[in-house]
Amino acid sequence: MLDPAQCRQARLARDARFDGRFVVGVTSTGIYCRPICPAIPSKDTRVHYFDTPLAAAEAGFRPCLRCRPDSAPDSPAWCGTRTTLERALRLIDDGALRDGSLGDLCQRLGVGERHLRRLFHDGLGVSPKAYAQYRQCLFAKQLLHQTTLPITDIAYASGFRSLRRFNDAFVTRIGLAPRELRRRRDASPAGEPLTLWLAYRPPFAWPALRDFHAGRAIPGLEWVGEAHYGRHIRWGSASGSFTAEHVPEHHAFRVRLMLDDLRALSPAVRRIRRVLDLDADTATVEAHLADAFPGLALVEGLRLPGLWSPFEAGVRAILGQQVSTDAARSLVTRLVEALGEPAGHGHHFPTPAAIAGSELDELRMPGARKATLRRFASWYADGEADDDPQAWTALKGIGPWTANYAALRGTGAPDIWLDGDAGVRRALPRLEGEDPARGAPWRSYLTLQLWSQAL
């Protein structure tokens, strides 16, 4: 947490660099705001500073309807600092407490309920269930502001099983009834894509991210244009597609999303945020890298180019072993065309079962690599796989480069150093002899900076 003097200075200056790093609670109104809120600044005696929107809500404040702090990019404080807490947050965000009990979550984490509650209390100041419910309410608030979905559908999409429970939770956590936020709009025609705005902290090096995806996009699975990136997606049994259009003047992406099951909407939106790396605080990352490597010219706002799932990232990494980017793209294209389920005029990425059950005759590559790919897919199809790629090296044929590449692109891990990558090796002289370890905990971004300069 920043000290009060820094928060005061940032609030009075409406400094965008601090957006998402703290929120401001105003005792006279009972609301909390972003530091860039356009409202007239309140007197210091009426102001309290909080690390996160959740902390402000627990203190009895509700979100400002003008600056909408719930739509600001997530603060790193949401994620905590402990490995178990970070994994618990990811699982809860993906619906672990919506579809199961706290005991089920603890069993997946390998910890006791008392220990998990203590981690949440120490890290966030709330219980796991309070955290989960507040996140559900914030997502519902976004849908109320930005869509014409009926309130019943919004409750369902947010993970509530009844409208009454949704209304009660929303009033408790947000301080308003859902209908008080709903603006009158004409309903969208049935079957039209859902449109959402996903914000980020500037700067954002969109041309670099766009060109990276364009050079590796799989025809029929992904589409890339001057200002957009899109693809077909799956989440559990749900399927659909999205197209994210960059709107730099709003520091956001306009996302048009189609899904055949609204219960997958919330985790799908979080996955889109990771694919585009919208929650990164690149100013902090680049300040650290500039201090560690003063001779390295940095691209401002560089983002990690994500893939939809760790499994897809693993498949692409295996197919990319010891071949060029174009050759890897060709192999993935053949795999998608041969084994991917049809989706409109294209295909979904193949399922683990489809790859595990195929002889992969359409792929021109060594038999040992085909065996590795089938072994990896079988591991996922049997439900034994770990979504942490660092655990994959136990499988024959998967080495550190494959696991690290999949971690960087499939999970958004911020501290991956791809020292064995050819592009990184070509760009190493730009570090002027400095130890790459100085880039921790942001070596994924250091890797990407070097990639951008090795082209």
- Hey, is 281 helix, strand or coil? coil
Alpha helices in 158-281 (DSSP H): 163-174, 178-181, 206-214, 265-275
Q: Is the peptide bond before 203 cis (omega within 30 degrees of 0)?
A: yes
Q: Can you tell me the distance from the alpha carbon of 350 to that of 27, in angstroms, rounded to the nearest whole number?
A: 53
Residues in the chain: 455
- 265-275 and 83-93 helices, crossing angle to 10°: 130
The tokens for 62 are 């509700």
- Hey, is 371 helix, strand or coil? helix
Write b or e for each residue in 96-131: b if 16 or more Cβ atoms lie within 10 A of its Cβ, otherwise e: bbbeeebeebbeebebeeeebbebbeebbbbebebb
> Could you confirm whether 421 is annotated as catalytic?
yes
> Could you confirm whether 137 is annotated as catalytic?
no
What is the DSSP code (8-state) at residue 419?
T
Query: Residue 109 — left, alpha, or beta (φ > 0 → left; ψ -120 to 50 → alpha)?
Result: alpha
Single out the residue of 362, 337, 360, 340 nearest to residue 349, CA to CA.
340
One of 7, 19, 33, 93 is an active-site residue; which one? 33
One of 15, 211, 388, 421 is an active-site residue; which one? 421
The residues pairing with 116 across neighbouring beta strands, listed in sequence order, are none
* Positions marked active-site: 33, 421
